[in-house]
Structure 1
Amino acid sequence: MGAGLNTGTVTRTENYLSIGNIAAWINDVAGVGNEDKEFMVLVNGKLEVSYYQKNLIRNTMALLHNNNLIGNLNLYENHNTGFGAQNGGIGITHLLTSHPITLKIMKITYVLFNMLLVLVLCSCKKEIKDRQDTSVQDIYVSGYQNKGAKAIATLWKNGIAAELTDGTKNAYANAVFVLNEDVYVVGNDGSKPITWKNGLSVDLPLIAGNISGAASSVYVTGSDIFIAGYQNDGNVNQAVLWKNGETVQLVNYYLVQDAKANAVYAVGNDTFVAGYQRYKTPNRDGAVYWKNRSPVALMPPGNYSVANSIFVQDNDVFVVGHEVSDGRTEAKLWKNNNAFTPLADGTTKISSAESIYISGTNIYIAGYQVNPVTNKYEAKLWENGFETILPLSDGAGFSWARAVYASGVDTYVAGYQNKNGKRIATVWKNKSAITTLTDGTNEAEANGIFVK
């Protein structure tokens, strides 16, 4: 930097080599005799600082742009938390460096603390607002709410409900996925499997001879839309995958008499679908996932088991669901084919894992158990194997968790509570904060969740 530092003056201007628009909190090394605290700002190659006297906690900085004074900025000595002030169209944000930087000016050594502040020139307040809004997360929840005698498929965005159907038939929104600005919801309207894109509905095709169906899960990557669900010919369920509207049958019905697809996940050229298939011998539902239509049995034939949700990370396939054995229904986590881990603590006779989401090394699983003492259903969240019973709102009797999502340090669980005999669509955030999406006047449930 340039020379000409005169300590103790009220205001000074210096020329120095341009290193960009940088603001830095500077304090001298203890023991050199000068304890002034200064804030130095580079604007168009010039440095402008005004301050009070030694050891004052508060300093005032003059701001220049195109050599014109555009305002003053009060600064507080708290470089650990930084500054967040704005003035005259200028915003200040933080930039952390890995190591301290030492500057030598006229034989006086100054230390630039690990905290650097980047001076950002904004054209108007709207630009500042738009930049701040990108950090705000939108919470999308799919489900239903009753109006009169019928269930209406519903999408809530940040707690605001949008009805997807007209109420002439029972309709349910089972899952939601958001990519860029497009919102995809899947479910059924009466007997028809259906998908909505940005609120507009499209019927999913049925295989010839089938008369009904429902969509359970949706995953979108690039231009491909994968939807898992089932169709029915009047006698048996048939697990299907719709890819970009084309129906793919997943099961060989010479060996299997009934099947449903409950969840879908796609990675690269591979598609993974979780569900169950009922073998003809023995006559039991067995948890399964299909990779590119090839079935992978998660449990040997015999006990009843179901796969409810699937997540793929690196080369590992994680599936959750439950198994019925010896009169006990037990929540399960499968990792890579037949390796499975019981999730319940053994005190309850009924539990199930309904949804899985993985973020980094953290595995989140949502589901429920029946309390062995009260005999009431309790919504649960397992985080890396550690379980939490999600709290109830005042007056609620029991609860059920259907879906989980993690974003940053926050976890979200969607489901419902029951109060006065009515189900209330509910979202839990970070295991405690409760948001009720409905008031309990009519039945309602939250089935899926996505945070963006």
Structure 2
Amino acid sequence: MKFIVCAKSVLLLAVLLVFNSCNDDDSSTASPSITGFSPTEGTEGTIVTINGKNFSTVTSENIVKFNGTEATVTAATATALTVTVPIGTTTGKITIQLGTQTITSLNDFVYIPSVYVAGQEYNGTNGVAKYWKNGIPTSLTDETKESTATSIFVAGSDIYVAGNESNGSKTIAKYWKNGAVVNLTDGSNAAYVESIFVAGNDVYVAGYESNGSRSVAKYWKNGAAVELTDGTQNAKATSIFVAGNDVYVAGRESNGTNAAAKYWKNGMGVNLSDGLVANSIFVAGSDVYVAGYEYNETDYLAKYWKNGTARYLNDAYSATSIFVAGSDVYVAGYQHKGSVTTCKYWKNEVSVNIYSSSSGGGLSSIFVIGSDVYVAGSELAGDYYAAKYWKNGNAVSLTDGTSHAGATAIYVK
């Protein structure tokens, strides 16, 4: 009898151990889940709280991605993660990987691109080079001498702005990386830059510099100058684009009588038929697009060239900027009729009016991301021109119109 009681006790103990072991296994393999997140939209750098259950309390064990781009987790509990929206993401689902398990949010996080605009604003004494990120201005100089920002490019978390600043007698060509200045010329001769492009670790800036009697078209790669013309005729480089190992620069060079539009590929010049000025260049695959204008003895005509073949843009006056997205070609510019200037862009040669004015103004730059079209420029606001950009035709003012200002370039990411 005593043996039977002991046997029953041993059996009961074994059952309890198995039961407890099962409970322990269930706890250790409990599946995580996402119940929601807030906010549901934002730009890069936005702090998002992801709610759910069974997250790891060790931040590094929660691998969070926004539409495939990994985010930084700054705090973690079993029911909530605090993360930062990463640079380079797009609209899409949030995923969390915990060990071998990956869970996905039910809804998309809507990514709002950041808008960067370069330009100038008058401070009462001088024009001041500056840029705006999502409407927040940053001055690039001490504001004591005339300066302007002409072009902007964003690579990763780095903001590059090209521009010019007076030294009191001459203009110095330069660029700024995250606000730190890099002088491209020494100020002994007047020099100007109009375009900047970043490819990998290399910074390319296009412009021109006086040789004492003529302006020489050139670009700088990481501060080292590459001359595109020999200095016997006036020439200017206005736009630069890098595709793979190839460097494309748009501009113009005098033929002894008139200015002639052209571009250079790796230093070799390509003349553009009937062109006067080439303002902007874009390369898509093997196709080279250049925007500019010509003069036909009575008027200026906006046009763009694709691989050297010209396309006219209605009766427009000038094409200032070009952007290619997929099979669509976008060109910004303006048109004069009588005393009225109409600022517009064209998508595949179909015009979209932004605004019309008898007081001037203009569009200087265009950028397309997804289905959204951004153009930057200036418009009269009371007594002064205001720097603005337009998203799908809707204006966003960068300055309040209490002093002259203008936007010269736009970049969206």
What is the TM-score when the length of structure 2 is the normalising length? 0.74
Structure 2 counterpart of 1:124: 80
Structure 2 counterpart of 1:343: 313
Cα distance in 1 for partners of 2:269, 2:149 equals: 27
Which of these residues, 289, 295, 308, is aligned with residue 318 of structure 1? Answer: 289
Structure 2 counterpart of 1:212: 190
Which of these residues, 251, 258, 270, is aligned with residue 284 of structure 1? Answer: 258
Aligned: 1:262 with 2:238: yes
Equivalent residue letter for 2:270:
V
Cα distance in 2 for partners of 1:382, 1:399 equals: 17
Structure 2 counterpart of 1:328: 299
Structure 1 counterpart of 2:397: 436
SS at match of 2:294: strand
Structure 1 counterpart of 2:336: 370
Cα distance in 2 for partners of 1:158, 1:228 equals: 26
Cα distance in 2 for partners of 1:288, 1:70 equals: 59
SS at match of 2:83: helix
Structure 1 331/180 Cα, relative in aligned 2: closer, same or farther at 3 Å? same
Equivalent residue letter for 2:153:
F
Report sequence identity in percent.
34
Equivalent residue letter for 2:263:
Y
Contact 2:66–2:109 at 8 Å: present in 1 too? Answer: no
Which of these residues, 324, 349, 352, is aligned with residue 388 of structure 1? Answer: 352
Matches within 5 A, 1:21-420: 66-67=29-30, 87-89=51-53, 124-127=80-83, 135-190=111-166, 191-205=171-185, 211-254=189-232, 257-280=233-256, 283-299=257-273, 305-337=276-308, 339-344=309-314, 346=315, 351-372=317-338, 375-391=339-355, 397-420=359-382
SS at match of 2:111: coil
Which of these residues, 382, 388, 408, is aligned with residue 447 of structure 1? Answer: 408
Aligned residue pair count? 337
Deviation at 1:356, TM superposition (A): 0.6
Contact 2:228–2:264 at 8 Å: present in 1 too? Answer: yes
Cα distance in 1 for partners of 2:241, 2:66 equals: 37
Contact 2:66–2:85 at 8 Å: present in 1 too? Answer: no
Deviation at 1:212, TM superposition (A): 1.2
Structure 1 192/71 Cα, relative in aligned 2: closer, same or farther at 3 Å? closer
Cα distance in 1 for partners of 2:370, 2:384 equals: 33
Cα distance in 1 for partners of 2:295, 2:181 equals: 37
Unaligned stretches of 5+ residues in structure 2: 1-23, 37-48, 56-64, 68-76, 87-93, 95-107
Cα distance in 1 for partners of 2:78, 2:194 equals: 46
Equivalent residue letter for 1:369:
Q
Contact 1:311–1:356 at 8 Å: present in 2 too? Answer: yes
What's the CA shift string for 1:172-201, capped at 9, x where partnerless? 000000111111100101110010000011
Deviation at 1:409, TM superposition (A): 1.3
Equivalent residue letter for 1:164:
L
Cα distance in 1 for partners of 2:34, 2:223 equals: 59
Structural RMSD (CA): 3.2
Q: Greater share of helix residues, 1 or 2?
A: 2
Unaligned stretches of 5+ residues in structure 1: 1-43, 47-63, 74-84, 96-120
Cα distance in 1 for partners of 2:29, 2:210 equals: 72
Contact 1:358–1:364 at 8 Å: present in 2 too? Answer: yes
Structure 1 406/122 Cα, relative in aligned 2: closer, same or farther at 3 Å? farther
Contact 1:206–1:212 at 8 Å: present in 2 too? Answer: no
Structure 1 323/125 Cα, relative in aligned 2: closer, same or farther at 3 Å? same
Cα distance in 1 for partners of 2:32, 2:336 equals: 68
Cα distance in 2 for partners of 1:202, 1:425 equals: 25
What is the TM-score when the length of structure 1 is the normalising length? 0.68
Equivalent residue letter for 1:356:
I
Cα distance in 2 for partners of 1:296, 1:421 equals: 43
What's the CA shift string for 1:100-158, capped at 9, x where partnerless? xxxxxxxxxxxxxxxxxxxxx98733138666889231111000000012000011000
Deviation at 1:72, TM superposition (A): 8.3
Contact 1:205–1:246 at 8 Å: present in 2 too? Answer: no
